[in-house]
Structure 1
Amino acid sequence: VLENGAALGLAFDGDGDRLIAVDEKGNEITGDQIMIICAKMLKDEGRLKNDLLVSTIMSNMGLSVACKKYGFKNHAAKVGDRYVLEDMQRLGGVLGGEESGHVIFLEHHTTGDGILTAMQLLAAMLKAGKPLSEMAKLMDVFPQKLINVDVKSKPDIQTIPEIVDAIKQVEAELKDEGRVLVRYSGTQNMCRVMVEGPTSEVTEKYATQLADVVKASIG
């Protein structure tokens, strides 16, 4: 993008159902930011049905903050496009997706389509008359740290006092400036520890702290 002086860059995954963009300054634009940009466009046009954006529990905290700012609701589904689609249909939404760039525009398709998402993103830019770097400012991305911990088994997290207590301690220290998510992978013997907070240093510290507790308990 920088070498060619392009307005933006568009990257698709192998089967073309996900999109990640790069603005004219070379900064990556996440799936969450793309959803906020497109949701605001639909909201402004009166096309965001039920004023609802469906994301997942792994979406950045900045997404829910942006939803409140621009006057639409946010529902966090379980991770996986099938769950996003199910909740969109159940709640009457037309836009939903994942931080990975898998976005569903239910007016056009029942699954993610990277090219369709790119066209919607370009439409939002053209209608606003702004470069992608400016559009991306619609959402502030909170620093996030994700650590994957290999585990021997997957007992209910809530039945492991050491992990529950460690999570409560971190949540108490973060207060309203961050969040904690500890969940198992659906396909691997792995526990994902995710922390969002006000700075990269804080998220790194707490994520490592929690990951060590998980490793000591079930790793």
Structure 2
Amino acid sequence: MRVRFHKSLDDLKEKLLIAAGMAEQSIQRAVEAYRTRDLSICDLVDRSELAINRMEREIDQMSLDLLAMEQPMAIDLRFILAVIKINADVERVGDSAVNIIERVRDLQAYPVVDLPVDIPRMAGIAAAMVRKALQSFIEADAKMAESVLSMDDSVDKMNETIHYALLNVMREQPQYTPQALDALVIARSLERVADHATNIAEDVIFWVQGFDVRHHLSMIDGARG
């Protein structure tokens, strides 16, 4: 029975990682669509979103079935609970990609403008956070997960910088306000991706080490002491 149970846990983990890979790819595609204004890439993101949503439901059901039919030990229980929470954040990463392509589609109505912001760089950091958070999940590595938490500040600062730069564009060049507003929404969506990566990392720490570090990074050091 235990062998079958752990095989089910492995299957659950694999399915979550497939969904997470699709969500990460969707973010990369959405940013590429913004960079190139290629609407065909937007269509790929839409199709991926449908698949991610379907997998979210399947993963949740698998998790609930395991909780209902088995009596998991503490670490296995934490694993299943972490999967349920990570699954929700993965789906929201996919939602962020959809938010971005909606802005890309809106931009088709306006001339291309060279805005004083680096959206692809911000996207690169946010995507790296997602990758590292997922790698920490694969390896059950709380130390790696902790390193993701420290990356969130840089994304927040970039979003703030972009925010003020685009407000300045709207003030000084009001004819470019629609493009600036779309870029603002995209930057905000990328900040949310970083937030979801942080959530995933926190859930990995909860699974591996057994305590909740949400909003309290110092608890990690406190628990060690």
Normalised TM-score (structure 1): 0.31
Q: Which is strand-richer, 1 or 2?
A: 1
Normalised TM-score (structure 2): 0.30
Q: Which is helix-richer, 1 or 2?
A: 2
Query: Comparing both chains, which one has the higher relative contact order based on Cα–Cα distances under 8 Å and sequence gaps of 6 or more?
Result: 2
Between structure 1 and structure 2, the one with the greater Rg is: 2
